[in-house]
């Protein structure tokens, strides 16, 4: 019986077998209550992928992301990988702790609970908030405001570049870039805005936005985000402090956009060197292949409208295979995710979905090798957490799956009001 491995093409199977894979769950055979767990499902970690994780509320998306991150950390190619989790909900810190909550389920799977060596990074200006709430972290990061374009600021502040404020912003940024390159602060932007002869209310409107951006606590002299891509490390970028307001998602998108740009650029340079080294038979890569996990991905890459992360992430999706960057995007509603991202996914894990538009959005991709309507496969899934469908473009197969229980603690569970 050949092993089931998703994300791996025949050539890699022949050459590498199961090296560079991780076990994410078991194949579900049979339908609904009759379904039983069969063979393990191996997941390719060695090649770049674009993966979508979908499912309605509470079906296991965030949990499954953690499972894949665990597999990367424990894999036999971990030294050539790095993991970055964009944590908008502040739930992944708990991966440091073993999953002692689910001992009996883990025993059933013959898995030991295990905590991981994750590094939690928070915005430098938010340390007091974390300390006040006694939430531990390992390090901080900042972004250099000089690295953003006028267009990116405008998207973050949600106004048009062709508006009066937009025109002022464009002039301010181009003046600063001309004079200082990328070496200027938020205060410099404010001061520069005051020097242009724009109507007072336009100037004040813009100045107020940059003053508000100071409170985001994320800007500093330099962008200190290189540390997120250290070899064999898992970095959790905790951006939960910005809240649920739209400005919260704007600042998260600025962060993710800049990271995506930087990492891709570095990987592209590294790839060239690696290719030369490959010719000389040197096997360790220059810079690890980076896996970026983005929960609530529709906020960063929406189907409608644009965020500062949209273009950089679309670039990952489009050309990431070549330089070696992997993206895992989770959302409740695939129909709300940018259609180009959706269509470029080569692996999809879909937990239970019920909304027609979301099922249709899935059905439109990968339909060529499906024997039935996607709805049929979803209906056949037993109704328990962690079940889903894997659609694998690499092997052109579809597998019902029971995702394995987590080795590390999952902090995203639904709270209840029952007493212990
Ligand atoms: N593979 C699994 N094995 C066992 N339990 C699971 C599994 N996947 C999910 N669960 C359970 O389901 C709960 C909800 O999962 P999770 O937090 O991942 O939901 P979600 O899909 O991210 O929901 P939301 O859309 O609200 O963010 C988890 O706390 C866990 O108890
Ligand atoms: Mg979730």
- Residue 60 Cβ < 6 Å to ligand 1: yes
Residue with tokens 């189907």: 303
More confident residue, 96 or 373: 96
Decide: 72 and 291 in contact? Cβ < 8 Å: yes
Q: Which of the two residues, 282 and 144, has the higher pLDDT score?
A: 144
Which pLDDT score, from 0 to 100, does residue 414 have? 67
- Listed in sequence order, the residues at least 6 apart from 420 whose beta carbon sits closer than 8 Å to its beta carbon are none
Question: Model confidence over 40-75: pLDDT tens digits?
Answer: 999 999 999 999 999 999 999 999 999 999 999 999
pLDDT over 70 (residue 419): no
Q: What is the pLDDT of residues 403-412, one digit of tens each?
A: 999 999 999 7
Ligand nearest to the backbone CA of 411: 1
- Lowest-confidence pick of 60-64, 233-237, 415-419: 415-419
Atom of ligand 1 nearest to the CA of 57: 25
Query: Tens of pLDDT along 285-343?
Result: 778 899 999 999 999 999 999 999 999 999 999 998 888 999 999 999 999 999 999 99
Place of tokens 């740009």: 261
| Mean pLDDT within 206-217 | 95
Query: Is residue 120 classed exposed, middle or buried when 0-12, 13-18 and 19+ CB atoms within 10 A define those classes?
Result: buried
**pLDDT at residue 375 in the model:** 87
DSSP code of residue 414: P
Token representation of residue 120: 């939690």
Q: Return the ∠ at Cα 346 (arms to 90 and 285), rounded to 5°.
A: 75
Q: Which domains does the chain have, with CATH numbers?
A: 48-143+222-345 (3.40.50.300), 145-214 (no CATH)
Checking if the pLDDT of 415 tops 80, the result is no
Between 285 and 396, the higher pLDDT residue? 396
Q: Are 15 and 72 in contact (CB under 8 A)?
A: no
Reply yes or no on whether the pLDDT at 170 is more than 70. yes
Nearest CA to ligand 1 atom 16: 60
Q: Find out whether the beta carbon of 250 lies less than 6 Å from any atom of ligand 1.
A: no
Structure tokens at 65: 């992301």
Which ligand is the nearest neighbour of the Cα of 415? 1
> Which has the minimum average pLDDT: 37-41, 133-137, 251-255, 279-283?
279-283
The pTM (predicted TM-score) of the whole model is 0.96
- Measured at the CA of 248, the angle between CA 52 and CA 121, to 5 degrees, comes to 75
| Residue 112, φ and ψ in degrees, nearest 5 | -90, 140
Is 200 close to ligand 1, i.e. is its CB under 6 Å away?
Answer: no
Q: What is the mean pLDDT of residues 235-254?
A: 90
User: Does the C-beta of 410 come closer than 6 Å to ligand 1?
Assistant: yes
Q: What is the mean pLDDT of the chain?
A: 93
Pocket test for ligand 1, best of 59, 60, 336, 353 (most atoms within 8 A of CB): 60
Q: How far is the CA of 368 from the centre of ligand 1 (A)?
A: 30
Residue 367, pLDDT above cutoff 70 = no
Which atom of ligand 1 is found nearest the CA of 330? 22
The burial class, CB within 10 Å (0-12 / 13-18 / 19+), for 207 is middle
pLDDT above 80 (res 245): no
Whether residue 299 contacts residue 253, with contact meaning beta carbons closer than 8 Å, is answered with yes
Residues paired with 292 in a beta bridge = 84, 327
Q: Please tell me if the CB atom of residue 285 comes closer than 6 angstroms to any atom of ligand 1.
A: no
Residue 416 in contact with ligand 1 by CB distance below 6 A:
no
So what's the pLDDT on residue 387? 97
Burial class (CB in 10 A: 0-12, 13-18, 19+), 322: exposed
Per-residue tokens: 324 = 């070696």
Q: Is 48 in the pocket of ligand 1 (CB under 6 A)?
A: no
CA angle at 308 for the pair 298 and 81, rounded to the nearest 5°: 75
- Ligand 1 within 6 A of CB of 101: no
d(CA 390, CA 351): 9
User: Residue 63, class by beta-carbon neighbours within 10 Å (0-12 exposed, 13-18 middle, 19+ buried)?
Assistant: buried
pLDDT tens column, 261-283: 999 999 988 888 888 888 877 77
Q: How much distance in Å is there from the Cα of 102 to the middle of ligand 1?
A: 13
Q: Considering every ligand atom shown, identify the ligand nearest to the alpha carbon of residue 413 and give its number.
A: 1
The answer, yes or no, to whether any atom of ligand 1 lies below 6 A from the CB of 387, is no
Confidence of residue 254 (pLDDT cuts 50, 70, 90): very high
Is the model's pLDDT at 233 over the cut of 70? yes
Question: Ligand 1 pocket, 66 CB below 6 A?
Answer: no
Q: Quick check: CB of 413 below 6 Å from ligand 1? A: yes
Q: How far is ligand 1, taken at its centre, from the CA of residue 405, in Å?
A: 10
Query: By mean pLDDT, which of 2-16, 240-254, 338-352 is the weakest?
Result: 240-254
- pLDDT at residue 420 above 60? no
d(CA 241, ligand 2 centre) in Å? 16
Q: Are 81 and 232 in contact (CB under 8 A)?
A: yes
Cβ atoms within 10 Å, residue 161: 15
CB of 405 shorter than 6 A to ligand 1: yes
| Residue 412 CB–ligand 1 contact under 6 Å | yes
Mean pLDDT of the 10-37 span:
95
219: pLDDT confidence band, cut at 50, 70 and 90?
A: very high
Please give the Cα distance from 94 to 180 (Å, whole number).
42
CA distance 391 to 374: 10
Q: Give the integer Cα–Cα distance in Å for 249 and 251.
A: 6
Q: Which of 404, 410, 414, 416 to mutate to test the pocket of ligand 1 (most atoms within 8 A of CB)?
A: 410
């Amino acid at each position: 019986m050949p092993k089931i491995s998703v994300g791996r093409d025949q050539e890699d199977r022949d050459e590498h077998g199961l090296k560079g894979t991780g076990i994410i769950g078991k194949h579900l055979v049979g339908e609904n209550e009759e379904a039983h767990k069969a063979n393990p499902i191996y997941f390719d970690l060695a090649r770049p992928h674009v993966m979508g994780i979908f499912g309605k509320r509470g079906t296991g998306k965030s949990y499954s992301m953690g499972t894949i991150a665990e597999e990367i950390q424990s894999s036999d190619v971990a030294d050539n990988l790095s993991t970055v989790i964009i944590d908008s909900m502040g739930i992944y810190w708990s991966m440091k702790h073993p999953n002692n909550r689910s001992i009996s389920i883990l025993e059933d799977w013959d898995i030991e609970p295990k905590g991981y060596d994750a590094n939690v990074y928070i915005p430098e200006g938010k340390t007091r908030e974390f300390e006040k709430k006694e939430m531990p972290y390992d390090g901080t990061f900042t972004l250099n405001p000089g690295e953003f374009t006028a267009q990116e600021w405008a998207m973050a502040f949600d106004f048009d570049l062709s508006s009066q404020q937009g025109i002022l912003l464009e002039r301010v940024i181009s003046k600063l870039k001309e004079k200082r390159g990328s070496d200027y602060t938020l205060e410099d932007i404010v001061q520069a805005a005051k020097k242009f002869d724009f109507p007072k209310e336009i100037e004040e409107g813009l100045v107020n936005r940059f003053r508000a951006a100071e409170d985001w606590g994320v800007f500093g002299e330099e962008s200190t985000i290189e540390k997120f891509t250290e070899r064999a490390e898992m970095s959790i970028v905790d951006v939960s402090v910005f809240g649920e307001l739209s400005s919260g998602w704007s600042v998260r998108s600025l962060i993710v956009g800049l990271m995506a740009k930087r990492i891709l650029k570095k990987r592209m340079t590294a790839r060239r060197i690696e290719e030369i080294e490959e010719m000389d038979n040197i096997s360790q890569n220059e810079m690890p292949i980076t896996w970026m996990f983005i929960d609530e991905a529709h906020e960063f890459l929406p189907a409608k409208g644009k965020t500062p992360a949209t273009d950089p992430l679309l670039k990952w999706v489009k050309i990431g295979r070549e330089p070696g960057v992997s993206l895992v995007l989770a959302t409740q509603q695939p129909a709300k995710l940018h259609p180009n991202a959706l269509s470029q996914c080569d692996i999809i894990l879909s937990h239970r979905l019920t909304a027609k538009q979301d099922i249709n959005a899935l059905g439109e991709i990968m339909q060529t090798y499906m024997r039935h309507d996607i709805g049929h496969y979803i209906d056949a899934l037993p109704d328990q957490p962690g079940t889903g469908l894997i659609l694998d473009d690499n092997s052109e197969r579809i597998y019902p799956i029971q995702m394995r229980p987590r080795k590390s603690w999952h902090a995203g569970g639904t709270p209840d009001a029952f007493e212990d």
